[in-house]
Amino acid sequence: MRNLLVGTILGVFMGWTLGFLRIPFIEKSQSFWVGIAACIAFILFLVAVLFVWNKQQLLLRLIGKDTTTTDVSTSSSHHMIWLIVTLFVMGGGLISGILIYRQNKLLNTQTKYMQTKMEGQAATMETIKDNNLVLLMRVFLDEVGEELKSNPDRLLSDASIKKIATLSHSFAPAEHNEGDSLLQQKLSFERGQLLLGLSRMEVDSSSFNKIKRETTFAHADLRKADLSGVDLNGVDLRKANLWGAKLQNTNLSGANMRHADLRWADLNEAVLQKTNLNGADLTNAKLIGADASGATFQWAELGSTMLSEANFSNTDLLGTNLMKVQFGRTNLTGANLRSANIEEDWFDKLSQWQIIGAGEIPKLYKIVPDKTRLNKLAKFRLDKR
């Protein structure tokens, strides 16, 4: 009776200990049953060792036990008692493991439910916030319109310009759903709409320049936006999405457009003098007749762009992808082409494209295999001689 009590206490103690320590932490039901099987196998192994220990005289001698006084019946009785104790311990551990499994399963279900609920509440609050900010922007733009009407010179007060900068700053970029998928890039739809609204209000150039200096339009969502002919010199468009945007004859000189998305954008005749386009993606963009003299395109993506009659003199094209670019009377005089990715026969095509400054390029650069593999599709790049 005493041994049964000991076995019960040991089983309960084991179950309490495992439950308190959350051991094992169950992630999947398969791991639970594997753990139970391993536990049973281990206990059976201990029982077998105990059985051999009580039955083999040699082992008894090794541990110093007097075999001449060993009572066989007593040994068998002790063996049965310890077997029952072991079963009680195993039963306690098994029951505690089952309870832990069910507790963890319930806890995981509750955690997922609370997480889903919190995400839904956060999305609702974000939507309400965005709607309020959009409404505030519309009201404020109406006020700006009234102020411009009352001023023949179309000037804005410094207070209004300060409000515009503050309002734009409050439009923090966030993830947006595109159909059934979530856009990886964080964008601000409101900043894009603010810039579009201001560009159509015929604000005096001096006031508009102040707005561009003090206001950020970074991360602005301007996909397929029409900003043709707008003076956006010096504007902050870092990481803005201008996919498919119309930017013909747009003045973007001195603008900060680092890591901007300009894929399929129409930049024909655009002014990009000293514009920062480092890391920008201009895949399939059109820059026919564009003036990008002095601009920086370091590590930018220009694959399959149209650069016919474009001015890229003194442009920094370090590490830029120039594969499949449609050149044609393009001015590359003084351009930095080091590490630019090109085709193996790129030098042979320079005369065919009638590149301005083509004679100096082979003298300054050589085509080498691209071992950096920064661009997985590129096999060759330009290197200084």
What pLDDT digit, counting tens, does each position of 184-206 carry? 678 999 999 999 999 999 999 99
pTM above 0.75, yes or no: no
The amino acid sitting at 246 is K
Res 183 pLDDT > 60: no
357: Cβ contacts below 8 Å, ≥ 6 apart: 313, 331, 332, 333, 334, 335
Instruction: Provide the pLDDT for residue 273.
Output: 98
DSSP 164-223: HHHHHHHS--B--EETTEE-SS-BBHHHHHHHHHHHTTT--HHHHHHHHHH---TTBB-T
Say if residues 244 and 224 touch (Cβ distance below 8 Å). Answer: yes
Query: What Rg do the C-alpha atoms of the chain give, in angstroms?
Result: 37
Tell which wins on pLDDT, 315 or 105. 315
Q: What number is the average pLDDT over the span 329-358? A: 95
Report residue 346 CA to chain centroid gap. 35
Instruction: Provide the pLDDT for residue 59.
Output: 45
Q: Tell me the two tokens of residue 160.
A: 């209004």
Q: Which of 48-57, 112-121, 129-138, 155-164 has the highest mean pLDDT?
A: 155-164
Say if residues 174 and 220 touch (Cβ distance below 8 Å). Answer: no
Res 2 pLDDT > 80: no
In this predicted model, what pLDDT tens digit does every residue of 35-54 receive, in sequence order? 555 566 556 656 665 565 55
The DSSP secondary-structure symbol of 365 reads: E
What percent of the chain shows pLDDT beyond 90?
56
pLDDT mean across residues, the chain: 81
Nearest to 126 by CA among 189, 195, 197: 189
Domains defined for the chain, CATH in brackets: 2-122 (no CATH), 151-220 (no CATH), 222-385 (2.160.20)
Q: Which of 43-47, 156-160, 287-291 has the lowest mean pLDDT?
A: 43-47
Q: Tell me the two tokens of residue 161.
A: 């310009």
Instruction: Provide the pLDDT for residue 307.
Output: 97
Instruction: Provide the pLDDT for residue 371.
Output: 85
Res 123 pLDDT > 60: no
Residue 344: how many other CB atoms lie within 10 Å: 10
Instruction: Provide the pLDDT for residue 241.
Output: 97
Return d(Cα 270, Cα 309) in angstroms, integer.
12
Q: What number is the average pLDDT over the span 105-131? A: 63
Q: Which of 179-183, 224-228, 349-353 has the lowest mean pLDDT?
A: 179-183
The amino acid sitting at 300 is A
Return d(Cα 4, Cα 223) in angstroms, integer.
77
Q: What number is the average pLDDT over the span 275-296? A: 98
Report residue 127 CA to chain centroid gap. 22
Q: What is the H or E stretch that residue 366 is in?
A: strand 365-369
Return d(Cα 274, Cα 314) in angstroms, integer.
10
Res 236 pLDDT > 50: yes
Tell which wins on pLDDT, 2 or 152. 152
Res 88 pLDDT > 90: no
Q: What number is the average pLDDT over the span 342-355? A: 94
Instruction: Provide the pLDDT for residue 191.
Output: 94
Tokens 């992808």, residue? 321
276 strand-pairing partners: 256, 296
In this predicted model, what pLDDT tens digit does every residue of 246-260 receive, in sequence order? 999 999 999 999 999
Greatest alpha-carbon span in the chain: 122
102: three-class secondary structure by DSSP: helix
Res 319 pLDDT > 80: yes
Length in residues, the chain:
385
The b-or-e profile of 110-145 (16+ CB within 10 A means b, else e) is: eeeeeeeeeeeeeeeeeeeebeebeeebeebbeebe
What percent of the chain shows pLDDT beyond 70?
66
